[in-house]
Copies of this chain bind each other. A is one copy, B any other.
Amino acid sequence: MSKPLRADARRNRERVLEAAQDVFAAEGVGAPTEAVARRAGVGIGTVFRHFPTKEALLEAVLVERLRGLAEHARAAYAEPDAGAALFGFLEHVVAQSAAKNAFADALAGAGVDVSSVFGEVRAELLGAVEALVLRARDAGALRPDVGPVEVVAVLVGASHAARWAPEAARARTVAVVLDGLRAKR
């Protein structure tokens, strides 16, 4: 669509996005945009050139994160065991989310209209998860009455549960939540 960015511009855009990820993860979405600029090593004007409002930046971070999830899901498909593929993917994402503290925050952050962001990435993510879901369902490793939408929602719930649980109870808590997805033996 938009003409391809100049090489340096593209590099900066990525640096800003990465910095935003880190900063918002560490300090919450209320962190000043200037902190993002500082961490990216660019002037504040550069941030606003690439993302014309703070909300746009927040959305971009979220989109990036969802894109990453989709990629992960696609990669997980390589695992031959259908159940392991799906649940391995879910566990990995939850672990990473809890560690980086960002996914949950960004999603729940006030003001970001999640559904509007979804536009393009939604299809990509759900598609990738669906592949895992269908195979796992066929293999009898997944409750037959849930589809990709429910799986992603449960994933979100698991991430939040992990963040809330004290360290000692975290692993068991996540296991419990994800267990709900498994087919009754």
- State which of A5-13, A59-67, A107-115, A127-135 sits at the interface with chain B: A107-115
Chain A residues touching B, majority SS: helix
| Known contacts A104-B108, A176-B180; is-contact A160 B169 (Cβ 8 Å) | no
User: Is A154 on the interface with B (CB-CB < 8 A)?
Assistant: yes
Query: What is the interface of chain A, defined by CB distance below 8 A to chain B?
Result: 27-30, 104-105, 107-111, 114, 143, 145-147, 149-150, 152-154, 156-162, 164-166, 169, 172-173, 175-181, 184-185
With both beta carbons as reference points, the residue of chain B lying nearest to A160 in the complex is identified as B160
Q: How far is the CA of A172 from the CA of B165 in the complex (A)?
A: 23
A108 touches B111 (CB 8 A): no
Q: How far is the CB of A95 from chain B (nearest CB, A)?
A: 15
Q: How far is the CA of A78 from the CA of B26 in the complex (A)?
A: 43
B165 touches A149 (CB 8 A): yes
A169 touches B153 (CB 8 A): yes
* A29, A104, A185, most chain B CB atoms within 10 A: A29
Q: How far is the CA of A44 from the CA of B181 in the complex (A)?
A: 48
B169 touches A157 (CB 8 A): no
The 4 closest A-B pairs by CB, nearest first: A28-B110, A157-B161, A108-B108, A180-B180
B166 touches A154 (CB 8 A): no
B27 touches A146 (CB 8 A): no
* A143, A147, A180, most chain B CB atoms within 10 A: A180
User: A110 contacts which chain B residues (CB < 8 A)?
Assistant: 27-30, 105, 109
Q: How far is the CA of A156 from the CA of B157 in the complex (A)?
A: 8
Q: How far is the CA of A105 from the CA of B173 in the complex (A)?
A: 21
With both beta carbons as reference points, the residue of chain B lying nearest to A155 in the complex is identified as B161
B150 touches A165 (CB 8 A): yes
User: A166 contacts which chain B residues (CB < 8 A)?
Assistant: 149
